[in-house]
Amino acid sequence: MKKGWVAVLLLGSSLVLAACGTATQGAAKDTSWTKVEQAGEMTVATSGTLFPASYYNDQNQLTGYDVEVAKEVGKHLDVAVTFKEYNVDGQIASIDRGEADFAANDFGLSKERAEKFMLSTPIKYSFDSMIVRKKDDSGIKSLADLKGKKAAGEPNTSYMRIAEKYGATPVTYDNATNDQYLTDVANGRTDVILNDYYLQKMSVAALPNIPVKILDGVFFNANHSGFLFVKGHDELLKKVNGALKAMQEDGTLATISKGYFQTNVSVKPDKVIKETVTAD
């Protein structure tokens, strides 16, 4: 079994408050880029289990859209890139503790997350969808039909909170493989998976023998994702955004995107998504 087939999830001041968060202890200079530049290396937190953003290929090599974009950013900034693997909560904790410089794993910026973190220039534009059983659509025709259904996903994600908001019962997994997620929907252990449309499209296509599908016509929450940074690391964010801008202009982002999604997700999609659903 491949390790990586997994379904599932503004620059500010250059000064940040000291560790206690009070002005009485003065302000600490932002050295986020200086440390990277002096070390000649960026450490990036990722999962290694989220296809096609971050996963292991048949040669057991870490790859994926977010991973390859991060590697290319390193080339533009003339620094090496080292990856550390965690689940979603672990990735967030790792940048908060300073173990990693940023996280690359198809991250959006939720309302709660925005209080402590900031996002790079978008590297992917998308929207949300639902995976259901092929034979009966899991009895779901709209978000309202989630009531009483069993929704699969990682804990503490916006997708699971949306499902619970609509009355679904959460069935949580921790870095489970994609075939487990999809098989559980197919055999009725769960009913639905809410997640990013492009990730779901690729996951379903990768395992065509499992009788599940993306629910037709129920799309919501136009969104974008990027690299996740701790607030206050503005200098590093500025450097990374500069590299991403150059990659957008020279076509590098489009090339990497088409290699993983067969379409250019680094620009806004033509599909108009009118419905917006919050987890609050």
Mean pLDDT is lowest, of 18-22, 59-63, 138-142, 192-196, for 18-22
Query: Are 43 and 178 in the same domain?
Result: no
At 12, is the pLDDT very low, low, confident or very high (cuts 50, 70, 90)?
A: very low
Query: Are 158 and 57 in the same domain?
Result: no
Decide if pLDDT at 190 tops 50.
yes
- 90 within a domain of the structure (yes/no): yes
Query: Are 83 and 119 in the same domain?
Result: yes
| Listed residue (267, 238, 225) closest to 10, CA to CA | 238
8 A C-beta contact, residue 96 and residue 116 = yes
Distance CA 204, CA 271 (A): 20
Query: Are 119 and 236 in the same domain?
Result: yes
Domain that holds residue 64: 15-124+224-261
Range list of H helices, the chain: 32-39, 65-77, 88-97, 158-165, 178-187, 197-206, 234-249, 252-261
Query: Are 139 and 183 in the same domain?
Result: yes
pLDDT at 157: 86
Domains: count for the chain: 2
pLDDT in tens, 159-178: 999 999 999 999 999 878 88
Question: What b/e string do you get for 231-270 counting C-beta neighbours within 10 Å, with b at 16 or more?
Answer: bbbbbbbebbbebbeebbeeebbbebbeebbeebbbeeee
- 95 within a domain of the structure (yes/no): yes
At 20, is the pLDDT very low, low, confident or very high (cuts 50, 70, 90)?
A: very low
- 61 within a domain of the structure (yes/no): yes
Decide if pLDDT at 82 tops 90.
yes
The percent of residues above 90 in pLDDT, for the chain, comes to 75
pTM for the model:
0.73
Query: Are 144 and 195 in the same domain?
Result: yes
pLDDT at 16: 33
Q: Are strands 117-119 and 220-230 parallel, antiparallel or unpaired?
A: antiparallel
Distance CA 194, CA 124 (A): 18
Residue 2: which residues within 8 A CB-CB, separation 6 or more?
55, 56, 57, 58, 177
- 109 within a domain of the structure (yes/no): yes
Query: Are 94 and 53 in the same domain?
Result: yes
**In this predicted model, which residue has the larger pLDDT, 195 or 27?**
195
pLDDT in tens, 211-253: 999 999 999 999 999 999 999 999 999 999 999 999 999 999 9
Query: Are 156 and 245 in the same domain?
Result: no
- 5 within a domain of the structure (yes/no): no
- Tell me which residue has tokens 């092929």: 134
Domain CATH for 246? 3.40.190.10
Decide if pLDDT at 53 tops 70.
yes
Decide if pLDDT at 143 tops 50.
yes
Helices (H) and strands (E) in the chain, counts: 8, 14
Work out the angle at residue 57's Cα, subtended by the Cα atoms of residues 56 and 62, and round it to the nearest 5 degrees: 40
The helix/strand/coil state of 257 is helix
Distance CA 186, CA 71 (A): 36
- Tell me which residue has tokens 């450490």: 43
Decide if pLDDT at 8 tops 50.
no
At 27, is the pLDDT very low, low, confident or very high (cuts 50, 70, 90)?
A: low
DSSP annotation of 23 reads: G
Residue 55: which residues within 8 A CB-CB, separation 6 or more?
2, 3, 4, 5, 6, 48, 49, 62, 63, 64
Query: Are 134 and 25 in the same domain?
Result: no
8 A C-beta contact, residue 44 and residue 84 = yes
8 A C-beta contact, residue 125 and residue 223 = yes
Query: Are 33 and 85 in the same domain?
Result: yes
Query: Are 55 and 139 in the same domain?
Result: no
Query: Are 144 and 45 in the same domain?
Result: no
